[in-house]
Amino acid sequence: MRRVVITGLGVVSPIGCGKDDYWKALAEGRNGVDKISLFDTEGHTAKIAAEVKNFDVEPWLDKKEARKTDRVIHFVIPAADMAIKDSGLDIGGTDPNRMGVYIGSGEGGITTTHDNYDILKEKGPSRVSPFFVPMMLSNMPAAYVAMKFGARGPNMAVVTACSTATHCMGEAMHAIRRGDADVMLVGGVEAAITPIAIAGFANMKALSTRNDDPGHASRPFDKERDGFVMGEGAGILVFEELEHAASRGAHIYAEVTGYGNTCDAYHITAPDPEGGGSVRAIKLALGMAGWNAKDVDLYNAHGTSTPLNDKTESGAIRRVFGDYAGTLPVHSTKSMIGHCLGAAGAVETIAAIMALERGIIHPTINYEHRDPDCDVNIFSQAIERRVDRAVINNAGFGGHNGVLAIERFRG
């Protein structure tokens, strides 16, 4: 079996860009949620989000290229470049036919879609941008990264809503294991803080309306949670075949050892109340990794801060881990960066990797009121603890479940 290791991390997030700034903010419990500044929220019931602010894309894209590309491209190219540089990978010395890209986006270029529809209504068909079609497609981040870095190997944009990035990573693991590639740039990107997306999620009662207290709006597993907070950003990782990484002396953050992919087949938005799909996905990841439930040192939860998701996920944790669920450390990165939708799995996997690397489990901020329906071991403060094995869980509308198992590299 070809082994798959992680050698590079790149992140653009609401609380920091680059793995070190991102991790420092997570460990400190820094909140990234605030009033929406990207558009006028007059008339909206949800007026808060976790935006990527003060981010200059010009070191990666010139002004002309930035103007014709969507915000998802503005996030994914820097994150991919950061990951490649962090890995020490020599792009020029890497066989381009053995380097692939699996990067997804749940909403794709929704900003481009929104803006061009306004142009169509106000100025007519002739004024719609010729770049509209390619820039609104969900596959374009994967295609753009491939073009930017010359990756001619397998290329795919998995789109499974909020489990997108996790499925991209799991499928990339399989691609390397079966010999399709030696290096894969993997992850997810999202930039969906737009009037129509916020209105749509709010009207289905999915978003928090704690508009006067944005710092406490994202509160996974807390009894007073009232919905998720939209986030945005990108997380890109370099997955590499072990011998390929070892031959160039790469720093190895972790090994990818397990992956679970299931569907609830229950409802277009609501999770299966019994959590059956999630339970199966977790067990599949543990089985592939060869772990027992008590081997897991950290569970990075989907933890959206919605009433149904957190209750269902807590039940799934108890079903899989049994009595150990009372002591298994559980946390939610979304408490600080909101829900980054298709990018969630990637930015949260980077958080879990940094926990392995730094020996710190970041807090779930805003966890103040215990909910009997969420009877799991939520860490509200950062703690120093050795982490050898972590599970990252994500779920998406449509009943998609994705789970990744990573562990400290042991040689």
User: What positions carry a catalytic annotation?
Assistant: 162, 302, 339
Give yes or no for a contact between 217 and 202, defined as CB atoms under 8 angstroms apart.
Answer: no
> What crossing angle do the helices spanning 140-149 and 71-87 adopt, rounded to 10°?
40
